[in-house]
């Protein structure tokens, strides 16, 4: 089932790609940034298809553990002072989106500030490395 802005579940997970491809184009690709949770839903499907693994297991093994994010999870942690709550929830205030559910890629991750800062630091370091490598390749 799929979460909507009205808190309803109405679409099977298997329909993510079909539904996303049917969304109206609001702006041409790469002309202006527009946030959309369906992009994460699609990333979830693509990762599962390419790796033959679940989104949750892939993130845990390939991102969280590699970045030493041992307190970052796709399992809902209730009543914890060290985890942030997801910003989307069902009408009964439960997260509704956890590992194995539709749009898991959009809202299922729970983490903390320390680990998120660590993760974004690694992303910025990777970007610097990629730029340096591009310069080396262009000189060759």
Q: Any idea of the CA torsion for 52, 10, 30, 53, to the nearest 10 degrees?
A: -10
Instruction: Please tell me the predicted confidence (pLDDT) of residue 42.
Output: 84
Note whether 86 and 77 are within 8 A (CB): no
**Taking Cα atoms as reference points, which of 2, 116, 132, 7 lies closest to residue 63?**
116
Query: How many other CB atoms are found less than 10 A from the CB of residue 35?
Result: 6
Report CA-CA distances (Å) from 127 to 31, 60, 123.
Answer: 22, 21, 6
Q: pTM for this structure?
A: 0.66
Residue ranges per structural domain of the chain: 13-112
Alpha-carbon gap, residue 121 to 24, rounded angstroms: 35
- 117 pLDDT above the threshold of 90: yes
Alpha-carbon gap, residue 61 to 22, rounded angstroms: 32
18-69 confidence digits (pLDDT tens): 877 887 888 887 788 777 777 877 888 888 889 998 888 888 899 899 889 9
Instruction: For residue 70, count CB atoms less than 10 angstroms from its CB and return exposed for 0-12, middle for 13-18, buried for 19 or more.
Output: exposed
Alpha-carbon gap, residue 100 to 75, rounded angstroms: 10
Averaged pLDDT for residues 3-15: 58
Look-up of token digits 């970007």: 127
């Amino acid at each position: 089932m799929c979460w909507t802005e009205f808190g309803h579940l109405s679409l099977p997970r298997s329909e993510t790609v079909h539904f996303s491809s049917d969304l109206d184009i609001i702006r041409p690709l790469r002309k202006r940034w527009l946030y959309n949770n369906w992009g994460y839903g699609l990333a979830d499907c693509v990762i599962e298809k390419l790796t033959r693994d679940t989104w949750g297991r892939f993130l845990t093994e390939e991102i969280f553990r590699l970045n030493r994010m041992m307190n970052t999870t796709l399992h809902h942690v209730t009543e914890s002072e060290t985890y942030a709550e997801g910003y989307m929830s069902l009408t009964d205030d439960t997260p509704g989106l956890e590992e194995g559910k539709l749009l898991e890629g959009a809202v299922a991750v729970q983490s903390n500030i320390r680990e998120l800062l660590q993760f974004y630091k690694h992303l910025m370091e990777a970007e610097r490395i990629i730029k340096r490598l591009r310069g080396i390749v262009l000189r060759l």
